[in-house]
Amino acid sequence: MKVKDIVDIMDKLAPKELIEDWDNTGFQLGNPEREVEKILLALDITKQTIDYAINEDIDMIITHHSLFFIPVKSIYSNTPKGKIIYKLV
| Mean predicted confidence (pLDDT) in 37-53 | 95
Element at 6 (helix H, strand E): helix 3-13
Q: Is 70's pLDDT higher than 80?
A: no
Burial (0-12, 13-18, 19+ Cβ within 10 Å), 23: exposed
Q: Is 5's pLDDT higher than 80?
A: yes
Which residues span the domain enclosing 66? 3-88
Task: Count up the domains in the chain and report the number.
Answer: 1
Report which of 38, 45, 58 is spatially closest to residue 86, judged by C-alpha positions.
45
**Residue 42 confidence (pLDDT):** 97
**At residue 52, what are phi and psi to the nearest 5 degrees?**
-60, -45
Q: What is the CATH number of the domain that holds 54?
A: 3.40.1390.30
**Residue 86 confidence (pLDDT):** 84
**Residue 79 confidence (pLDDT):** 86
**Residue 6 confidence (pLDDT):** 97
